[in-house]
Structure formats: C-alpha cells, structure tokens
Amino acid sequence: MPDSIDRQIIVATQAGLPLVSRPYDALADRLGIGAEEVKARLRAMLEAGVVRRIGAVPNHYALGYTANGMSVWDVGDDRIDELGETVGKLSFVTHCYRRPRRLPDWPYNLFAMVHGKTRTEVEGGCAIIRELLGTACRAGDVLYSTRILKKTGLRIQD
C-alpha cells in the first residue's frame, strides 16, 4: 500500500507529468525529496500495479474512435470465466469484466467494451463476440454512448 510520500507523488502527478526536460527533478523540488526517490517510488508503484503505466492518455474521440459500444451478455456461470478471458483477448475489446446480474431488469453478467470508428465496426466486433460465446450465451445487447456527461477521472484530494 502506498505511504504518505507515495500519496504526495500521486497527488502531484495525477493531472500529468511536468512538461520540462527533467520532470522528476521538478517533482522532487516541489515535494522536497530527491529525484532518485521520486523515480524509485514510481518504479515500485509500477511493479506493484498501483501505476498501470506511464505515458500518453489519448482522448479516443479525438483519435476518431467515436463509436463506443458497451456490449453485455448473459453467459452461463459455469463458462463465464473461461469465455471472459477469451473475449478479453480480442483486439477491439478495451475492457472486459464479469459483473453481477440485476434481475429482473438486467440479466447480463459479461461486459465487453468495444471501441470503433463507426457503429458498423462495433457491430462487426459484437457479432464476433456473439459467435465466440456460442451456446453458453442466452442473450446480449449493445449500449451505445450518445453523450459524454462527465469525464474527469479519479482525483485524490490533497
């Protein structure tokens, strides 16, 4: 678990790294610790998975990925983990999770987010998923997003 110095590093970098030649030195100055410590702690957080990765986070709309379909499937409980792993390996699936059903309104337990440049592309991806799931799948649906209402991401308070 991150300690208080890790936390300070998280708060200082969650909006982004400084765009200067020596960004870790700039962070170190701001936090009053050494640059070696900043780098070592970020490296440790990467290894522990607290940091997934360091780099560019593109706005997928700006890259032309304007079709965004949340595909949802009702998959037999005995097959879902095996099939979830398989669906997650498809190149056009960016997130894939098992989630609880909410009966009677919501029978779906497998969620696979499909991003594409057109709805036709997303529909093609969903057809591949449907075929892959085969007889283990009782029903499915695709929910397209039609508007982003908010997108700020996580912000830890200082």
Partner 1 sequence: MAGERPAVAIDTLDECDRRIINALQGDFPLSDEPYREAAESLGLSETELLARLKRMLDERVLTRFGPMFQIERMGGRFVLAAMQVPEADFNRVADLVNSFPEVAHNYRREHAFNMWFVLATEKPEGIADAVARIEAATGIGVAAFPKEREYFVEMKLDA
The helix-helix angle for 35-48 and 4-13 (nearest 10°) equals: 90
* Binder of partner 1 out of 10, 33, 128, 136 (CB under 8 A): 10
* CA distance from start to end of the chain: 17
* Binder of partner 1 out of 4, 21, 32, 158 (CB under 8 A): 21
Cβ atoms 87, 125 nearer than 8 A: no
Mark 59-78 with x for binding to partner 1 (rule: CB under 8 A) and - for no binding. xxxxxxxx---x--------
By beta-carbon proximity to partner 1, the closer residue of 85 and 118 is 85
Tokens of 110: 């497998």
Tokens of 98: 């098992």
Q: Name residue, tokens 């892959």.
A: 132
* Binder of partner 1 out of 4, 78, 155, 158 (CB under 8 A): 155
- Determine if 135 is a binding residue for partner 1 (CB under 8 A): no
**Amino acid symbol at 94:** T
d(CA 158, CA 103): 40
Closest approach of partner 1 to the CB of residue 60, in Å? 5
- Determine if 130 is a binding residue for partner 1 (CB under 8 A): no
- Determine if 52 is a binding residue for partner 1 (CB under 8 A): yes
By beta-carbon proximity to partner 1, the closer residue of 78 and 150 is 150
